[in-house]
Amino acid sequence: MDPARKFSSVSTHTVIVSRAMPIAVARILDRENAEPGSAERRPYKPLSSDWAITFDMLCMHCAAMPHCQILEAMIEMKSGGEWPEGGWATDPGATVTCLSYTPKAGPKVSRQQLRAMDRMPEAKLPPVCGGCAARKGSEASTSLHALRDFKASVANETLFTCHEHPGAQRPCGGWCRGVRNRRAAR
């Protein structure tokens, strides 16, 4: 997989991928000795040059912004302090994550749209792609951000779009099935 894609969002939030990201990803992986796919999360202390990219990728999509105490502690760490519990860490699915990440609410799906989805034959639902957050073992399912976004979107019935078709804003096939199953279980 292209290292730059590790920084692209799988939810309705969009992260702008810059040309510098593959270099930043390589530095993160080299510095932390984290292999993609490794289940271990370790404290992440970004280089000065990685702060802006990491902040944009993690903090700008978190509901705790702009009053995040973890961010304040990460800034203190940058000045020589200790890594804060719940702070930024390596992540097997996204290279870097924040252990205190809280998903922002996505766009609410109307009752009419949900009812239409409930009645839709399985074959007419969007397919579950190979990298879906709902597919166990996929890269997205091992990404803390993606998994929290996915679970919150299913629980709150807010739109979660397919990360393999971001421009189309197509609902995620796994999300469609998750919402249907949850609604059927009520």
Give dist(CA 108, CA 125) in Å, integer: 19
Domain edges within the chain: 3-98, 111-184
CB atoms within 10 A of CB 148: 17
Tell me, rounded to whole angstroms, the distance of Cα 80 from its chain centroid.
Answer: 28
Name, in order, each residue with C-beta under 8 angstroms of 133's C-beta and a sequence gap of 6 or more.
Answer: 10, 140, 141, 143, 146, 147, 149, 150, 160, 163, 172, 174
Give dist(CA 63, CA 152) in Å, integer: 12
- Render pLDDT for 122-138 as a digit per residue (tens, 0 to 9): 999 999 988 888 988 88
Question: Which residue do the tokens 């270099």 mark?
Answer: 23
The ranges of the chain with pLDDT < 70 are: 1-39, 166, 168
